[in-house]
């Protein structure tokens, strides 16, 4: 387990726009299984995410958390069951994969910015070449999101000139420029210094406040308590337990969950 901390962003969360839809399904994972060779990495995953949900997935390393969210935008292929994103079922059909990826943003542990492009080019590349938005408009959108993540002055620098926290905020802005309906976060703060974790969490919280549907794989239990409406605990490729954060932390049911929480919360 790397970097388990209880970073709490000290401010009131504005919940006025955080509404979970009762009828609109964003992601539906049904009886899904995945194998790496002979290794059964995801087993019988059933997960329905409603529009506007903020889900935190927790669990020990190797429990399949990252693999699960990587299946949702088909960076990994599943072998059994169904994954339906915004009504599109993921199959080997490239058209469907592109359709899903256009609507689903992803933020990685190691940022994965494009080092040969400036920050602005990182942000405008996909809008221009995937969505076909005119360059000027894409740049205006990019600047808007850079301001939202509070680093508009870095627009013409290269990723390597930025701190880790800044790079991760750029990565979030890059995803937002595609105006996704769903955001996936794969341990977005695990590679950051403690001082920088907060600035990234701030951005994620403000996203949640706007009603973005998000799934976050993270060890930031403070974030889970403050922002999530549901915490999912995984172990050995399976969903072991899920609950509202309050209940999940104060009253875990499964033995494995209790053990996990006792180890990471002091």
Partner 1 sequence: MTDITYVRPSLVEARPAPRSTTGVLAWLQKNLFATPTDAVLTLFGALFLLWAVPPLVNFVFINAVGINGTVEECRVETAGACWAYVWSEMEFFIYGFYDMSELWRPNIVFALGAALLIPLLIPKVPFKRTNALLLLIVFPVISYYLLAGGVFGLKPMPTEKWGGLLVTLIISAVGIIVSFPLGIILALGRQSKMPVIKMLCIGFIELVRAVPLITILFMASIMLPLFMPQGTTVDKLLRALVGVTLFSAAYVAEIVRGGLQAIPRGQYEAAASLGLSYWKQMYFIILPQALKHVIPGIVNNAIALFKDTSLVYIVGMKDLLEAVKTKNDTALEWQSGNTATTGYLFAAAVFWMFCFSMSRYSMFMERRLNTGYKR
Residues of this chain that interact with partner 1 (CB under 8 A) are: 73, 75, 94, 98, 101-102, 104-106, 108, 110-116, 125-126, 129-130, 158-161, 167, 171, 174-175, 178
CB 58 within 8 A of CB 228: no
For the CB of residue 125, give the shortest distance to partner 1 in the complex, in Å: 6
For the CB of residue 38, give the shortest distance to partner 1 in the complex, in Å: 21
Residue closer to partner 1 by CB (options 68, 104) is: 104
Assign residue 183 a region (left: φ > 0; alpha: ψ between -120 and 50; beta: otherwise).
Answer: beta
For the CB of residue 3, give the shortest distance to partner 1 in the complex, in Å: 19
For the CB of residue 164, give the shortest distance to partner 1 in the complex, in Å: 10
Residue closer to partner 1 by CB (options 57, 240) is: 57
Both tokens of residue 266?
């002091």
Q: Phi first, then psi: give them for residue 201, nearest 5 degrees.
A: -60, -40
Which helix H or strand E contains 230, and what residues bound it?
A: strand 230-235
Residue closer to partner 1 by CB (options 178, 204) is: 178
For the CB of residue 219, give the shortest distance to partner 1 in the complex, in Å: 20
Closest by alpha carbon to 194, among 7, 2, 1? 7
Closest by alpha carbon to 200, among 216, 182, 208, 188? 188
Residue 68 contacts by C-beta under 8 Å, 6 or more apart in sequence? Answer: 29, 42, 45, 47, 57, 217, 234
Residue closer to partner 1 by CB (options 126, 240) is: 126
Residue closer to partner 1 by CB (options 79, 263) is: 79
For the CB of residue 102, give the shortest distance to partner 1 in the complex, in Å: 4
Residue 133 contacts by C-beta under 8 Å, 6 or more apart in sequence? Answer: 127, 141
Residue closer to partner 1 by CB (options 189, 226) is: 189
């Amino acid at each position: 387990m790397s970097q388990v901390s209880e970073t709490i962003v000290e401010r009131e969360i504005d919940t006025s726009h955080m509404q979970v839809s009762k009828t609109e399904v964003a992601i539906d994972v049904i009886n899904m299984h995945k194998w790496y060779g002979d290794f059964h990495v995801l087993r019988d995953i059933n997960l329905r995410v409603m529009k506007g949900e903020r889900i935190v997935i927790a669990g020990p390393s190797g429990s399949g958390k990252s693999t699960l969210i990587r299946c949702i935008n088909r960076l990994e292929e599943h072998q059994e069951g169904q994954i339906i994103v915004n009504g599109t079922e993921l199959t080997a059909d490239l058209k469907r994969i592109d359709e899903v990826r256009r609507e689903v943003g992803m933020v990685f542990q190691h940022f994965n910015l494009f080092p040969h492009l400036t920050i602005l080019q990182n942000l405008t590349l996909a809008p221009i070449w995937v969505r076909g938005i005119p360059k000027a408009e894409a740049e205006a959108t990019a600047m808007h999101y850079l301001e939202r993540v509070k680093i508009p002055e870095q627009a013409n620098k290269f990723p390597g000139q930025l701190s880790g926290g800044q790079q991760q905020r750029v990565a979030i802005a890059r995803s937002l420029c595609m105006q996704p309906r769903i955001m996936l976060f794969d341990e977005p703060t695990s590679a950051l210094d403690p001082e920088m974790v907060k600035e990234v969490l701030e951005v994620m919280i403000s996203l949640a406040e706007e009603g973005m549907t998000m799934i976050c794989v993270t060890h930031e239990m403070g974030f889970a308590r403050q922002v999530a409406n549901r915490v999912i605990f995984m172990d050995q490729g399976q969903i072991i337990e899920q609950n509202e954060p309050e209940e999940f932390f104060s009253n875990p049911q499964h033995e494995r969950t209790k053990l996990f929480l006792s180890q990471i919360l002091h």
